[in-house]
Structure 1
Amino acid sequence: METFRFRFLRALFVFALASSSVFASDPSPLQDFCVAINDPNDAVFVNGKFCKDPKLATADDFFFSGLNICKNTTNPVGSTVTPVNVVQIPGLNTLGISLVRIDYAPNGGLNPPHTHPRATEILVVMEGTLYVGFITSNPDNRLITKVLNQGDVFVFPVGLVHFQFNVGKCNAVAIAAMSSQNPGVIALANAVFGSNPSINPDVLSKAFKLDRNMAKNLQSNF
């Protein structure tokens, strides 16, 4: 009997470890919804947010307007991301989804290489032509790319470096859905060369095979 119990507990432990590694999305909610509020009075703390009393929830807690509005892309990278996550729609709290709209300037508007640590992304092109891709993890670091046109859909797996680049002569627009209420974003160049405080340039010089002065110059640009 003791041997059976030991084997059972060991199997249960292994299953728990496997489950924790497989499920990479937000945890499943245990209630219909949890409208996020900042006031802790008379609230319950769930998924990093305080929850409004469900009886006080209104339609506006689940609503966002303006995703049809074109955004200004006159910035260094030529793109603007409009998020629609738990910050914009409090009712998304615990539901494990969010959206972004991305506007790209003509002839080279870029959503630079970045990752979402907590979400897989599925992107649909609403206007224009985009060159998109992601890079697989070590040791292969294989680049998987595709040129997308209006109506095309592409998936970026959770945590992998990916990008979108407008190869057309007109503005481009895409809508992307995320498998997290708050997917997070790590822009690689900003994170590495624009960290606060700055990374020792000797580290960057060796890591990226750069002259030390070049590494310092890149840091100054961020």
Structure 2
Amino acid sequence: MKGAHVLAAFVLLALSSSFASAFDPSPLQDFCVAINDPKDGVFVNGKFCRDPMLATANDFSFSGLNIPGNTSNKVGSNVTLVNVDKIPGLNTLGISLARIDFAPYGGLNPPHTHPRATEILVVLEGTLYVGFVTSNPNRLITKVLNAGDVFVFPIGLIHFQFNIGQTNAVAISGLSSQNPGVITIANAVFGSNPPINPGVLTKAFQVDKNVVSYLQKQFWVNNH
């Protein structure tokens, strides 16, 4: 019986070790400025690190987030992402941000997910209808936000923002990853390259094949 207890304790310890290693470890240095040239670099979190003694203020800064994004597209929104590709010093720090501009009434940041990040959004101007869908059962959680309001979109869940005001809207999002990634649902399903077999989509959406064919021929906007 004692042996069984020891074995159970060993299994639990092994499982806890596996769970712990499923997440990125905390950085063991102050920073790791990302560089593309591997010469004299160390590979960390998908990037090579510059010698910290050679780091400069430019490695930790970005200019231009005050400039409105171009919303003259089919969805009426524009996302200006500031991630590790824009600020090399973000490498290993697990954070990034974005400015999102919305055209007057109808500007939409379409349903999408961030596979590697939770998002926290603050509205600077305008009025946004925002929401996300939970995993099964698929419950929709929504709220109308005004300037100064904050909303959180949990990691990996489908979410959106929609301008219901008569003026431009602007929001800033913080994301818990240096490179959160984005999967825009309509683009991924109907605009993939190569296309998904129409038979799959016809069955999945329970619509006529002509509807699927029409959707696959559309030009899907990448507003990021």
TM range (shorter): over 0.9
Note if contact 1:35-1:51 (Cα within 8 Å) is conserved in structure 2: yes
Confirm whether residue 12 of structure 1 aligns to residue 13 of structure 2: yes
1:155 partner letter: V
TM-score in terms of structure 2 length: 0.93
- Residue from 38, 41, 47 that aligns with 1:40: 38
3-state SS of the aligned residue for 2:200? helix
Per-residue deviation, 1:157 = 0.2
Match of 1:164 in 2: 161
Task: Show CA shifts across 1:122-179 (max 9, x none).
Answer: 00000000000000001x1000000000000000000000000000000000000000
Q: CA RMSD in A?
A: 1.4
Match of 2:135 in 1: 137
3-state SS of the aligned residue for 2:80? strand
Note if contact 1:132-1:164 (Cα within 8 Å) is conserved in structure 2: yes
Q: In structure 2, do the counterparts of structure 1 residues 207 and 91 end up closer, same or farther at CA, with 3 Å as the change threshold?
A: same
Deviates more, 1:201-210 or 1:142-151: 201-210
Note if contact 1:111-1:163 (Cα within 8 Å) is conserved in structure 2: yes
What is the CA–CA distance in structure 2 between the aligned matches of 1:107 and 1:95, rounded to whole Å? 36
Superposed, 1:1-222 pairs within 5 Å as 5-19=6-20, 23=23, 26-138=24-136, 140-222=137-219
Query: Which residues of structure 1 form unaligned runs of 5+?
Result: none
Query: Which residues of structure 2 form unaligned runs of 5+?
Result: 220-224
Q: Percent identity?
A: 72
Q: In structure 2, do the counterparts of structure 1 residues 60 and 116 end up closer, same or farther at CA, with 3 Å as the change threshold?
A: same
Per-residue deviation, 1:209 = 1.2
Paired residues, number: 218
What is the CA–CA distance in structure 2 between the aligned matches of 1:202 and 1:4, rounded to whole Å? 53
